């Protein structure tokens, strides 16, 4: 029900929310755009975003960490399997996970896990 549309909408909406809440990050973005594009709109292309605007890319990744459009998911094993931590999963069993919680886990991201910091 949400595939393609709502995921993309949320992935584009949350960065702007984050930018409006943090003038420091906004200033860094404007500085990067000015220095890379230099007012040349013809340079606005997918390749430019992927390879020449690392700060903007980091802002996008940080947005997905804090506001994942698909915040939890489940998988059903088609065959017996072993997860990376050694947990056994048997055919037909369902495993659920929350990447929303994983993205805010202080043991992974530190005490400032709830803070929007693209530099991390």
By CB under 6 A, name the binding residues for ligand HEM: 3-4, 7-8, 11, 69-70, 73
Rank residues 71 and 110 by Cβ distance to ligand HEM and give the closer one: 71
83 φ, ψ (degrees, to nearest 5): -75, 160
Q: Which stretches of the chain are assigned E, i.e. beta strand?
A: 73-76, 81-82, 88-89, 94-97
* Measured distance CA(86)–CA(107) in Å, rounded: 20
CB of 60 to ligand HEM, least distance (A): 8
Enclosing H/E stretch for 7? helix 5-21
Rank residues 48 and 99 by Cβ distance to ligand HEM and give the closer one: 99
CB of 26 to ligand HEM, least distance (A): 21
Rank residues 7 and 35 by Cβ distance to ligand HEM and give the closer one: 7
Mapped onto helix, strand or coil, the DSSP state of residue 74 is strand
CB of 40 to ligand HEM, least distance (A): 27
């Amino acid at each position: 029900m949400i595939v393609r549309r709502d995921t993309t909408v949320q992935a584009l909406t949350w960065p702007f929310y984050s930018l409006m809440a943090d003038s420091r990050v906004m200033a860094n973005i404007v500085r990067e755009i000015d220095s890379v594009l230099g007012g040349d709109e013809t340079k606005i292309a997918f390749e430019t975003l992927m390879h020449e605007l690392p700060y903007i890319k980091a802002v996008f990744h940080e947005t997905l960490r804090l506001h994942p459009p698909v915040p939890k998911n489940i998988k059903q094993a088609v065959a017996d399997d072993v997860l990376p931590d050694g947990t056994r999963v048997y055919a037909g069993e369902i495993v659920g996970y929350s990447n929303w919680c994983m993205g805010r886990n202080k043991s992974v991201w530190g005490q400032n896990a709830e803070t929007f910091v693209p530099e991390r």
